[in-house]
């Protein structure tokens, strides 16, 4: 009687590559880090919450490490780069995901508030990229990727999100400009712009969740402002993120992929 073949494992398409994901202790960042790790990458889980970064790395397996990182702080980002260099000596994939949420209209905005938001959501991604680029240049030539997590608010207007939307809009054009600058080196740069995603950042000021709000369930779900009639999950973003970090995207650079359930197609 012939032996039964063992079920084949999914291909680990990022085996041998090193990925750094900021804001990776929870939400979208954690889902992306988990997907990259499942595909074989050694993942550096960078997050301002050092304890959660370590716990997330432990959950991802022995190839992952956690690193407390404040992307708004030059010394902290330099320390992250030093950790990656000491442990791996290179980096193939950088995912600039860390951000803070913000809901402030222009009438209530102060310049100090604006700068606090943009120092993280805009400057932070640039600061991390500058620090990590020397290590990316040492990475496997065919696998070098920079992925920036933008937002639908970076390509569409919305009330009470001036600082957040402006910073994410800057990330969109940072992606395009950097893709042009690094194309000759074969380093591909793209962005993902999520829509409504079910993460802790989607909490409303009163502690409730926007996906549970009557306005969301009525306008976006029942009336189909989101054609897929649901909010997204972090795993809905992890799949497109993996694609843009994989060899399947070898001819894709300078692009912004909206992962929003069709929301941007309706206005």
From CA 16, how far away is CA 42, in angstroms rounded? 7
> Both tokens of residue 23?
């804001």
pLDDT at 33: 98
| 164 assigned to active site | yes
From CA 88, how far away is CA 107, in angstroms rounded? 48
pLDDT tens figures, 196-245: 888 766 655 666 667 667 666 776 666 678 888 888 899 999 999 999 99
pLDDT at 204: 59
From CA 71, how far away is CA 155, in angstroms rounded? 23
From CA 243, how far away is CA 251, in angstroms rounded? 12
Q: Is 103 exposed, middle or buried (0-12, 13-18, 19+ CB in 10 A)?
A: middle
Is pLDDT at 17 greater than 60 in this prediction?
yes
130's enclosing H/E stretch is helix 123-137
For the chain, what is the mean pLDDT? 89
> Both tokens of residue 237?
């973003």
Q: For the chain, list the domains and their CATH numbers.
A: 18-200+233-266 (3.40.50.720)
Handedness of CA 181, 96, 130, 36 (dihedral sign): negative
SS3 of residue 93 by DSSP: strand
Confidence of residue 102 (pLDDT cuts 50, 70, 90): confident
pLDDT at 29: 98
Share of the chain above pLDDT 70, in %: 88
Q: How would you write 19-83 as a 3-class SS string?
A: EEEECCCCHHHHHHHHHHHHCCCEEEEEECCHHHHHHHHHHHCCCCEEEECCCCCHHHHHHHHHH
Give 47's strand partners: 68
Greater pLDDT, 9 or 204: 204
From CA 137, how far away is CA 247, in angstroms rounded? 17
pLDDT tens figures, 126-180: 999 999 999 999 999 999 999 999 999 888 888 877 888 999 999 999 999 999 9
Confidence of residue 3 (pLDDT cuts 50, 70, 90): very low
pLDDT at 183: 98
Confidence of residue 113 (pLDDT cuts 50, 70, 90): confident
Among residues 168, 41, 18, 15, the alpha carbon closest in space to that of 98 is found at 168
pLDDT at 100: 85
Show contacts of 66-73: CB within 8 Å, 24+ apart: 66/25, 69/22, 69/98, 71/22, 71/23, 71/46, 71/98, 71/120, 71/124, 71/125, 71/127, 71/128, 72/119, 72/120, 72/123, 72/124, 72/127
From CA 67, how far away is CA 45, in angstroms rounded? 6
pLDDT at 120: 94
């Amino acid at each position: 009687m012939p032996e039964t073949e063992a079920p084949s494992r999914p291909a680990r398409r990022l085996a041998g590559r090193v990925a750094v994901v900021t804001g990776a202790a929870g939400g979208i960042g954690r889902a992306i880090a988990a997907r990259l790790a499942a595909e074989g990458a050694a993942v550096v889980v960078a997050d301002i919450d050092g304890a959660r970064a370590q716990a997330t790395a432990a959950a991802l397996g022995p190839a992952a490490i956690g690193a407390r990182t404040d992307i708004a702080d030059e010394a902290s980002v330099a320390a992250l780069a030093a950790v990656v260099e000491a442990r791996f000596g290179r980096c193939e994939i950088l995912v600039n995901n860390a951000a803070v949420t913000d809901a402030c209209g222009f009438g209530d905005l102060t310049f100090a508030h604006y700068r606090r938001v943009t120092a993280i959501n805009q400057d932070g991604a640039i600061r991390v990229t500058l620090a990590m680029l020397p290590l990316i240049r040492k990475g496997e030539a065919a696998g070098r990727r920079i992925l920036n997590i933008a937002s639908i608010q970076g390509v569409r207007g919305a009330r009470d999100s001036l600082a957040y939307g402006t910073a994410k809009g800057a990330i969109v054009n940072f992606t395009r400009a950097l893709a042009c600058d690094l194309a000759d080196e074969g380093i591909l740069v793209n962005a993902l712009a999520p829509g409504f995603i079910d993460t802790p950042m989607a909490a409303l000021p009163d502690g409730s969740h926007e996906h549970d709000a009557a306005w969301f369930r009525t306008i976006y779900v029942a009336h189909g402002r989101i054609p897929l009639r649901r909010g997204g999950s972090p795993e809905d973003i992890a799949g497109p993120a993996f694609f843009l970090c994989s060899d399947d995207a070898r001819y894709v650079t300078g692009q912004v992929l909206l992962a929003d359930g069709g929301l941007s197609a309706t206005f």
